[in-house]
Amino acid sequence: MKKIKLGMIGGGLGAFIGDAHRRASRICNDFEFAGGVFDADYGKSKEFAKLEGIAPERCYESVELMIKGELARKADDRIEAVAIVTPNYLHFPFAKMLLENKFHVMCEKPMTMTVKEAEELEELVGKNKLTFALTHTYTGYPMVRQMREMVSSGMLGTIQRIDAQYYQGWVNSIIHGADSRITGVWRFDPSLSGVSSCMGDIGVHAFNLIEYTTGLEIKQVLSDLSSIKEGFRLDLDGTVMLRFDKGLKGVIRSCQVATGEENNLTIAVYGSKASIKWGQENPNYLYMLTDSDPVKVLKPAHGYNSDFAEKSHTMPCGHPEGIYEAVANIYKGMAKSIRGEKFKSGEFPTVHDGVRGMKFIHAVVNSNKNGNTWIKL
Amino acid sequence: MKKIKLGMIGGGLGAFIGDAHRRASRICNDFEFAGGVFDADYGKSKEFAKLEGIAPERCYESVELMIKGELARKADDRIEAVAIVTPNYLHFPFAKMLLENKFHVMCEKPMTMTVKEAEELEELVGKNKLTFALTHTYTGYPMVRQMREMVSSGMLGTIQRIDAQYYQGWVNSIIHGADSRITGVWRFDPSLSGVSSCMGDIGVHAFNLIEYTTGLEIKQVLSDLSSIKEGFRLDLDGTVMLRFDKGLKGVIRSCQVATGEENNLTIAVYGSKASIKWGQENPNYLYMLTDSDPVKVLKPAHGYNSDFAEKSHTMPCGHPEGIYEAVANIYKGMAKSIRGEKFKSGEFPTVHDGVRGMKFIHAVVNSNKNGNTWIKL
Amino acid sequence: MKKIKLGMIGGGLGAFIGDAHRRASRICNDFEFAGGVFDADYGKSKEFAKLEGIAPERCYESVELMIKGELARKADDRIEAVAIVTPNYLHFPFAKMLLENKFHVMCEKPMTMTVKEAEELEELVGKNKLTFALTHTYTGYPMVRQMREMVSSGMLGTIQRIDAQYYQGWVNSIIHGADSRITGVWRFDPSLSGVSSCMGDIGVHAFNLIEYTTGLEIKQVLSDLSSIKEGFRLDLDGTVMLRFDKGLKGVIRSCQVATGEENNLTIAVYGSKASIKWGQENPNYLYMLTDSDPVKVLKPAHGYNSDFAEKSHTMPCGHPEGIYEAVANIYKGMAKSIRGEKFKSGEFPTVHDGVRGMKFIHAVVNSNKNGNTWIKL
Amino acid sequence: MKKIKLGMIGGGLGAFIGDAHRRASRICNDFEFAGGVFDADYGKSKEFAKLEGIAPERCYESVELMIKGELARKADDRIEAVAIVTPNYLHFPFAKMLLENKFHVMCEKPMTMTVKEAEELEELVGKNKLTFALTHTYTGYPMVRQMREMVSSGMLGTIQRIDAQYYQGWVNSIIHGADSRITGVWRFDPSLSGVSSCMGDIGVHAFNLIEYTTGLEIKQVLSDLSSIKEGFRLDLDGTVMLRFDKGLKGVIRSCQVATGEENNLTIAVYGSKASIKWGQENPNYLYMLTDSDPVKVLKPAHGYNSDFAEKSHTMPCGHPEGIYEAVANIYKGMAKSIRGEKFKSGEFPTVHDGVRGMKFIHAVVNSNKNGNTWIKL
C-alpha cells in the first residue's frame, strides 16, 4: 500500500520528541518521512535533513514555504500529513495554517495556548474534513484500549470513584539547581508553554485517560496547585477534585517534583460490580478487581481481550511491547482516517480531545486562582 | 517479668477486633488477659469468659462493676490496663471512667465522637499521669517506623508533597445488597459511629500515618465527600486536600466502596532530596527514590535500618511478620510506658494522636458541609 | 479451655528459634509455656527462666531430670508437650527419650541425623500413640494450604512439572569473613548438623513443600552440590533433579550463598489444566495460571478459598498475617491432635514427614557423592 | 545516511517472525526492506510483496534466483544483508549460500541442525569477512546489556551460582488438543526442527543469556528431559545442570508446557559481593542484591547505567521500551558492523554464539540419551 508522506515541524537535531514520532511512524509503516521545517535555524535544519536522508528541496526554511512547496507538487507526491512537535505556543499558528491548506495534522499536546484557539482548530478540522490527531500517547497502549472496552461493556456496573495520578520527578533537580536552568527551559516560561506546567504537561494526560477509558465527561474541577519554589511562575504540583454527572466524583493528582518518580501515570476506575487499575510504567498489566473473585491480571495477546486491544498488539503473549508501539498505534489510526478506511472511535485522540484538554487546563488554573472553587469545564 | 493484667470492654464471642487485641497482647508477652465486660449481654459475656479461661469473678456485668471490683483487689493483683473495643460512641464514656479511676487505657479509634470529648480525655490522661494508647495499628509496622526515622533524619530534604490513600471495598457489597444490612451495621448509624464513616474509620488512619511518619501537622483541610448511595447518611468516599506549614500541600484519598480493594493504605512522601513510599498490604517493603540512584527497597532485619525499626521486628530477614506483630509492637510500647521504662516517642499512638484525629474528622466533615472550603484543624 | 503445658529443650537467652516457638504457641493460645531445659549451661538456663517467669522448679538441669520431674506431677499439672529447639544432633536422643516417656513432641528440622533414627522415632510415635510435629513452618501459611487443596481437587489436571527453589544469602558473608566464624557455627560442623548444610537446612523445606502441596512422593533424586569455598565441609549450594511416578519430573534448587537473597522459597506446580505459583516472601499471594484466562491472584480471607485455608487466617482481607501466624497454625493443629479433637491431614507436619525429609537429605548427598547418579528415596 | 538494503527469506503472509524483523529494522532505521523469497509458494510470495510495496522484480522465486538477481545489480543498489526466518532446517543451506556469495546474514535461531553445520558457517563468515547476526533477541534489551557490563566490571566478585529459567505454556494446549495439530506444527517434527524442541527453541536462549551476561563459558551439562506426552518425539521440558570452570555450577530450567506461563525467561547471577536478577517479561527492571544494602532496582535512562545500556534506550526514564526495540538494537549493531563502524562486542549475537548454542543443544540431548551423564560442550 502506498505510504502517506509525512512532514514535520520541529524535531530536528537532538529533539527527542521528533525522533519518537518518526520511530512510531516507521513502526506503523503507513507513513514515509518526507520533509519539513526541522529547526528555527535553517542551517541546523538542513544538517538534520541530510542526516535523515530527506531530499534537500523538502527541507524548508519556514512553514509557509513548506505549505507552498508541497501544494505545488502533484497530489500523489505531496506531503499529506504534518506532525507538529514544536514548543507549545507554536502549535496553534502552525496547525491553523496547515489545516487551512488542507494538510492533516498530528499535534503534540497541549494542543494550543487557549480554549478559544482549540475551538478554532476544531471548527477548521470539521469544516475542511481533515484528520487531526493529538499525542495522548497512552491511549495507544493495548491494555488502555482493553480498559476502555471493558468499561464501555458495562461490566463495572455504576462507576463510583475515579482516581488518576501522574507523578514525575524530573523538574526537581532543575528547580534545586542553578536558576539559569529554569529560565533556559521553555516549558517554564508561560509565554511559550501556556498557563500551566504540571497540569498542562502531564495532568492533562491523566484527564484524557479518564475521559478516554470511561467515556465520561468531567463537568467541574476544584484545584489546589503549588509552584513549590518561590519565584517559580507555574504550577509544579497539584490536586484536582473532579465532578462528573450523577454525583460521581474523582481526583487527579499530578506532580513534576515527585523526586525519583519516573513517569508514574496511573488510573483506577471503581465500579459497583468491578474495578480496573492500570499503570503506565508496566503497561501490559491490567488489574480487574471484584468483591468476590481473585484479582485478575489481564495481559495482551490473549483471547480474553477485546478485538480492539488485540489489534493494538502484534507480538505473542509475554513479549512486552512498549511506548513506541503505543504511539505507532495512534499513527496507524490516523492513517486509516486519512485513507478513508473504517476505524474505531478511540484509535487516535482527536481535535475534540484537544479542546477538552484545554478546557481542563484552564479550569484547573482558574479554580486555583479563585481560591479553590468549583469551575465548570 | 511480671505481666500487666489486661481487662477488656467488648470483644466477646465472634468479635474480631477483641481477638486481635488479645493475640497482639500475647505476642508482646507483657500482658495477661485477666477480665472485663465482654458483651452487653451478661450471659454471652460469661460464656465467652469461660471459653477464654477467665476467672468467673472477673467477668463483670458492667464497666462500673469492673472498676469497683478491680479497685477492691490488691494492687499487684489488679487489672491495670483496659482495652476498649466497643462501638465508637462508647469509647469516650468508658475511657473517661477508666481514666478517672486510674486505669491505663488502650482504645480503638476513632477515640471519641467529638473533639471536645477527645480533649477531655487528653486532659485526664495528663492530669492522672496515665498511659493511653490508641490503635493506629499501622504505626507498629517496622518499615513505617523506619520511614519515620528516615524523614526525621532530614535525608529527604524539604518535603514537597505528601500523598496518602486508604481504599477498601467491603462496604460495596453491603450498600448494593438489601437495605436491612445497612441498618444493621452500627458503623453506618451516626449516633453510634460518629459524624463520618469513611473518614472516621479509615481516612483518619491515613491522616495519622502522615503525621506519624513526617512529624508534620496538617493545618487545614478542604474536602469533597460522597455517600455514594441515595439515603446513605454518612460518607463512603472522599478526597481531602491538605495544607501544612510553609506552603507544603498534600492529599488524602479514601474510599470504602472501591470494589475489590482489600486494605489498601499507602503513603508517599516526596522530598527535595529523596522520597519514600510504603503500602500496608506489603508492609515489609519500603521504597526510597532519588533523582540519581536506583530505587532502593528496604526490608526489615537489616543493618541499614534504624534501631527503632529493627527492634520492631524479631524474625530474620525474609521471614515476613504481619499486622498482629504491628499491634504487638504497640502493646509493647504501652507496657514500657506503664512500667515506667524508657520508651521512644512513636512506640504507641497517644491520646494526643486521638485528639488530632478527631479534629481531622470533624474538619473534613465541616469542609464538605460548607461547600468545600478550607477548615483549620 | 484448659491450656496444654509446653516444655522446651534449648531456646534460652538469645536463641531466636525458641522465641519463635513461644510466640507462635502464645498466638495459637492452646499452650502454656511451663518449663524446660533452656541451655546446656544451667546457670544461663535459670537466668532465662527467671526472665520468662518460669517457676524455678521447672527449670531443669537436664532432659532426664525434666522427664522425671514432670512425670512426678499430677497428670493435669504435667508438661504434656515438649518443643526441641537444639542443634540438630540432639533432636534424636531427646525426642526418643521424650516419646518413650509419653511426651508429645514438637521438633525442629531436620528431625534427626540419619534415616534410621528418623524411622525409629516414627515407630515410637506410632507405638505410643503420641503427637509428633515437625516445624516445616511454611505448611502453616494459609495460601500454602489453599494450594494443597487446589491441587488435591484435581483442578490442575495432570501435573507436568514441579519447580521449587530455596535461596538464601546469609552464609555468604560468613564464608568470606574470618575462618573462625565458620568454625563457630554449629550448622557447619557435620558432627553437630548432619551430612548436609544447604540441603539439610533449607533444601528439605522445598522438598517438603512439594510433597505437602501436591500429595505426590518424590521417588528418585539426582543432585549436584557445591561447597563453594575450599575446605568447607558441607554443601552450600545445589541442584536436585526429581523424579516422581508416571514420568513426572521436577527440580529443587537451593543455595545459602545466593548473596542478597533473604528467604526466597518458591514453588511452582504446572498442570495440564492449570498451574499454581507461590513464594514465601509474599506469602499471602497465590497465583493461578491457565492457558486461556487472566492470571488469578488469590489472597486470604475470601470466600473463594477452601475452608482449610480460611481457618488458617483470622484477619479480614488485606491485613497481612505472617510467619508467626503460620507457625501458630501448626501449633494449633498439634493441640487438636493432643486433645483428641478432629483435625485434618496437613494441619501439622508429622514424624512421617520427618522420615521423608531425612531420606531426601541422604539421597541427595549420596547422589552427589556417587557422581551425580539417580538415588531412590 | 544511506540505508542498507535488506532481503528476507521466509516471513511472508501471516508470518509473525518476519514481521517482527521488518519492524525492528525500521525502528533501527539503518535498513530498507528491499526484496526476498517470502514464501515457498511463489504466488503467495508475490501477493505479499505487493502488499509490502516491494518492487516485483525483487520478489524472487528462489534463493538462488535472489542471489543471482541481486549480484547482477550495481553494488550500491544491491541487497547487502538477508534475514533468514524460515523453519530451522533451512537456516543452514540458505545461510551457506548467502555467505558464499558475500551477503551478510541475520539468522533466526537455532542457527543450524548440527554442530558441524554451525562450525561450517562460522568458518565461512570468518573467511569471507562478513557480518552474521543471530536473533538472540534478549541480548538487545538495555538492562541485559547493563547486566553484562556490571558483571564484567567485577562488581559481583566471584560468581558462585547461576540460575536461568525459560518457561512457556503455549505447547500445552496443543499436546492436549487433537493430534493433527501436533503433526501440523513443523517445530515438533525433528527433520524440520532439529533434535530438540524445548531446548532448541527456548532453552538455548537461557544458555546464551548466561554466556552473554557473564562472559563465562559453560563447559559441561547434565540434563534430564521430558517429552510429557506419550508418542511426542521431542523434549518439551527439561532441567540442565551446568558446570563452568573453577568449580562454578548452575542450572537451566526450561519448559514449553508450563501452563499459563507466557515468555518467562529469567536469569540470576549470584556473586560473592553482589548478585543480579533480571526477567524478560519486565525487561526494564534490573535487581541488584548485596549482603548489606537495600535491594537496588535499576531502570533504563539513568546516569547510573553504563554507556552501553544507555545507548540501547532512547526514551526518557519511565517510558517503557519493549522487545521490538531490543531487536532493533541488534539490527543497529549489525548495521554498524556492515558499515565498518566501530561497535562493541555484544551489540549483536554472532555466528560464534550460534556455534555455542548448537553445542549446547546437542550436548543436552546427548546427556539425556546417555542416562543423564555429564557431556562436554
Phi, psi of A38 (to 5 degrees): -95, -15
Given CB atoms, is C26 within the 8 Å cutoff of chain B? yes
How close A316 comes to chain C (CA, Å)?
A: 13
Smallest CA-to-CA distance from A317 within B302, C310, D16, B106 is with D16
How close B272 comes to chain A (CA, Å)?
A: 7
Q: Name which of B20, B29, B317 is nearest C263 (Cβ-Cβ).
A: B317
**By CA distance, what is C281's nearest residue in B?**
B318
The answer to whether the beta carbons of residues A254 and A203 sit under 8 Å apart is yes
How close B136 comes to chain A (CA, Å)?
A: 25
The answer to whether the beta carbons of residues B261 and C319 sit under 8 Å apart is no
**By CA distance, what is D303's nearest residue in B?**
B292
The answer to whether the beta carbons of residues C237 and C224 sit under 8 Å apart is no
Answer whether C259 sits within 8 Å of D226, measured CB to CB: no
Answer whether A293 sits within 8 Å of C296, measured CB to CB: yes
Answer whether A316 sits within 8 Å of D264, measured CB to CB: no
* Cβ contacts of B302 on chain D, cutoff 8 Å: 292, 294
* C-alpha to C-alpha distance for C306 and B344, rounded to whole angstroms: 43
Smallest CA-to-CA distance from B354 within B162, B106, B165 is with B106
The pLDDT, as a whole number, for residue D16 is 87
The answer to whether the beta carbons of residues D182 and D170 sit under 8 Å apart is no
The angle at the Cα of B346, spanning B341 to B349, to the nearest 5 degrees, equals: 100
Interface probe with A: pick from B155, B158, B161, B373, most Cβ of A within 10 Å: B161
Q: Name which of B27, B51, B280 is nearest C26 (Cβ-Cβ).
A: B27
**Could you report how far apart the first and last alpha carbons of chain A are, in Å?**
42
The pLDDT, as a whole number, for residue A231 is 84
Given CB atoms, is D263 within the 8 Å cutoff of chain A? yes
The pLDDT, as a whole number, for residue D187 is 83
Angle between helices B115-128 and B91-100 (to 10 degrees): 20
pLDDT at C183 over 80: no
pLDDT in tens, D304-321: 999 999 999 999 999 999
Given CB atoms, is D26 within the 8 Å cutoff of chain A? yes
The answer to whether the beta carbons of residues D136 and D109 sit under 8 Å apart is yes
Answer whether B172 sits within 8 Å of A163, measured CB to CB: no
Given CB atoms, is A169 within the 8 Å cutoff of chain D? no
List, for chain A, all residue ranges whose pLDDT scores fall below the cut of 50: none
Distance of CA B215 to the CA centre of its chain: 17
Q: How far is CA D190 from CA B149, D88, D128, D196, D200, in A?
A: 63, 10, 31, 7, 11
Bridge-partner residues for C288, per DSSP? C276, C296
The pLDDT, as a whole number, for residue D179 is 61
Q: pTM to 2 decimals?
A: 0.97
* Cβ contacts of C264 on chain B, cutoff 8 Å: 318
The pLDDT, as a whole number, for residue D74 is 97
Q: How far is CA A240 from CA A167, B198, B275, B300, D11, in A?
A: 13, 20, 22, 36, 50
Answer whether C296 sits within 8 Å of A299, measured CB to CB: no
Name the DSSP letter for residue C75. G
- Average pLDDT over chain D, rounded to an integer: 96
A281-284 own/partner pairs: CB under 8 Å, 24+ apart: A281/D318, A281/D320, A282/D282, A282/D320, A283/A138, A283/A141, A283/A142, A283/A143, A283/A144, A283/A322, A283/A323, A283/A326, A283/D320, A284/A142, A284/A143, A284/A320, A284/A321
In the structure grid, which three cell numbers stand for residue B355, read together? 485528639
Q: What average pLDDT score do residues C248-277 get?
A: 98
Looking at A89-178, list the stretches that DSSP marks H as alpha helix, in order from N- to C-terminal side: 91-100, 115-128, 142-152, 170-175
* C-alpha to C-alpha distance for D135 and D326, rounded to whole angstroms: 10
Residue B205: count other Cβ atoms within 10 Å of its Cβ: 26
- Average pLDDT over chain C, rounded to an integer: 96
Q: How far is CA C370 from CA A332, B18, C235, C355, in A?
A: 62, 58, 15, 22
pLDDT in tens, C211-254: 999 999 999 999 999 999 988 899 999 999 999 999 999 999 99
Within 8 A by CB and 6+ apart from C136, the residues are C109, C205, C208, C209, C212, C349, C353, C357
The answer to whether the beta carbons of residues D359 and D218 sit under 8 Å apart is no
Confidence grade of residue C75 (pLDDT, cut at 50, 70, 90): very high
The pLDDT, as a whole number, for residue A179 is 61
Answer whether A241 sits within 8 Å of B224, measured CB to CB: yes
Q: What average pLDDT score do residues D187-209 get?
A: 95
The pLDDT, as a whole number, for residue B15 is 84
Q: Name which of D292, D298, D302 is nearest B304 (Cβ-Cβ).
A: D292
Name the amino acid, one letter, at B56: P
Strand D286-289 and strand D275-279: the pairing is antiparallel
Which of A13-17, B268-272, C313-317, D94-98 is least confident? A13-17
Strand A81-85 and strand A220-226: the pairing is unpaired
**Could you report how far apart the first and last alpha carbons of chain D are, in Å?**
42
Q: Name which of C259, C270, C273 is nearest D258 (Cβ-Cβ).
A: C270
Residue C331: count other Cβ atoms within 10 Å of its Cβ: 27
Smallest CA-to-CA distance from D334 within D355, D315, D353 is with D353
* C-alpha to C-alpha distance for A29 and A41, rounded to whole angstroms: 30
Q: What average pLDDT score do residues C189-209 get?
A: 96
In the structure grid, which three cell numbers stand for residue A276, read together? 480496573
Smallest CA-to-CA distance from D315 within A317, A326, A260, A256 is with A326
* C-alpha to C-alpha distance for C309 and C129, rounded to whole angstroms: 27
* Cβ contacts of C260 on chain D, cutoff 8 Å: 270, 274-275, 288-291, 295
Q: Name which of B163, B257, B259 is nearest A274 (Cβ-Cβ).
A: B259
How close C23 comes to chain B (CA, Å)?
A: 6
pLDDT at D180 over 80: no
What percent helix, strand, coil does chain D show, rounded to 5?
Answer: 40, 20, 35
Distance of CA C322 to the CA centre of its chain: 16
Confidence grade of residue B230 (pLDDT, cut at 50, 70, 90): confident
Given CB atoms, is A181 within the 8 Å cutoff of chain B? no
Given CB atoms, is D314 within the 8 Å cutoff of chain A? yes
Given CB atoms, is D302 within the 8 Å cutoff of chain B? yes
Confidence grade of residue C179 (pLDDT, cut at 50, 70, 90): low
Strand D104-107 and strand D81-85: the pairing is parallel
Q: What average pLDDT score do residues B40-46 get?
A: 96
Q: What is the DSSP string of C191-245?
A: HHH-S-SHIIIIIHHHHHHHHHHH-PPP-EEEEEEE--STT--S-SEEEEEEE-G
Distance of CA D107 to the CA centre of its chain: 8
Given CB atoms, is A163 within the 8 Å cutoff of chain B? yes
Q: What average pLDDT score do residues B130-148 get?
A: 98
Instruction: Write down the ipTM of this complex.
Output: 0.96
Phi, psi of C112 (to 5 degrees): -145, -170
Given CB atoms, is D298 within the 8 Å cutoff of chain B? yes
* C-alpha to C-alpha distance for A257 and A173, rounded to whole angstroms: 8
The pLDDT, as a whole number, for residue B179 is 62
Gyration radius of chain B's alpha carbons = 21
The pLDDT, as a whole number, for residue D178 is 67
Q: How far is CA D342 from CA C319, D332, D334, D336, D339, in A?
A: 56, 12, 11, 7, 9
* C-alpha to C-alpha distance for C342 and D320, rounded to whole angstroms: 54
* C-alpha to C-alpha distance for A25 and A22, rounded to whole angstroms: 5
* C-alpha to C-alpha distance for A91 and A112, rounded to whole angstroms: 6
The answer to whether the beta carbons of residues C251 and C239 sit under 8 Å apart is yes
The pLDDT, as a whole number, for residue D334 is 98
Within 8 A by CB and 6+ apart from C307, the residues are none
The pLDDT, as a whole number, for residue C180 is 62
pLDDT in tens, B52-86: 999 999 999 999 999 999 999 999 999 999 999 99
Q: What average pLDDT score do residues B328-357 get?
A: 98
pLDDT at D212 over 90: yes
The answer to whether the beta carbons of residues A125 and A134 sit under 8 Å apart is no
Answer whether A318 sits within 8 Å of D20, measured CB to CB: no
